[in-house]
Structure 1
Amino acid sequence: MEDSFDVGARLRQLRQEKQLSQRELAKRAGVTNSTISLIELNNVSPSVSSLKKILDALPVSISAFFAGDEPNHPSPFYRAAELTEIGDGHLSWRLVAARRPDRRMSVLHERYPPGADTGEEMLEHDGEEGGVIITGEIEITVNGETGLLGPGDAYYFDSRLPHRFRNLGDQECVIVSANTPPTFSDGGEQLHH
């Protein structure tokens, strides 16, 4: 069982494999040298969009970043403590089977605290995504159409359509979702939703 994923050590390992200095990686990613240094020392937890910018500069997908080393015969079962947190510290996105080689979809346990918003800039990326709301309510906008979903309600759409998720309620919203392909690559600064 893992307590938490060591983002700093993994970033350092990948940067050194690519034979890049902190300064060179920072320049390519459009962030400050100190940002790379603080992340590698685990003194700061990068937002999802910052991590995506840095990984795009390597280039390494989010999936490959979190993949690390999985045993040859991974177990089909994952305990709650074994899910890998890939959220930004405010939104929680816990990825199932992050280290499974050749994973062809992403399954996420998502938590949106009251007031959480993926941002005014609509998200767009390759693939499809769907999910079921477990608790709370979430407002989802897809290609200009907005719906308010509650427990048991679900969604499914082409991720290339501009989309946004907002929790306008006063209780946490929990969603179990899946998306494919699992690369989280959108060519932009943010990933998934």
Structure 2
Amino acid sequence: MRLPTPNNPLKRGLARTSRWIDALRTLGPSSVSSVLKVALDVAYVLLWLITGLLLLLLIAAVFIPLDNVNITVSGASGGRQLPLTRLLLLFGLGAATAYFGGFMLILRSLRRIFRTLTMGDPFHPANVRRLRHIGLILAVVTGGVWLAQGFVAARLAPGVMDPQGPGELLTPIFSVLIVFVLAEVFREGARLRRESELTI
């Protein structure tokens, strides 16, 4: 004979949460992946517009007159006024365009990966290549930002802005390595799927 279980609100809440998590689909249409795909589409369009605007500004900066224009560079030790030269303007706009353009390319690959997830096909062979592209672009953007900040600190604003140290690269390098490991996981999943299809 079973004794009645006590009416415990915590157990009821956990059971309800567990049922909700089980009902939450992560792959296929009308799933979490499809919602994230829409969010990535919106972010991609915004980054595309920002990159396009920066590219237009970069082209216009070649022709803009820069007579007696100064900028203030501020850091932990204070601020300093520098004359805004054409080289400095082109460097700043070029670096910003490359930065946003790199993340736009990352989002383009992520959108394509999530498109396969919404179709219920996570181990699509092309996803391996897309993940490798994401890792490579992330590595280039990270290295570019590190070099650009070092150049600004050494040449354009010495004593005002501190260059990044090697320790500040640990998190980005870790992120790049995770993306490459995920690419290998997807490659192995695609291989296993191919083998199972051949077996059937």
Structure that is richer in helix per residue: 2
Q: TM-score scaled by structure 1?
A: 0.22
Return the TM-score normalized by structure 2.
0.21
Is the radius of gyration larger for structure 1 or structure 2? 2
More strand, by proportion? 1
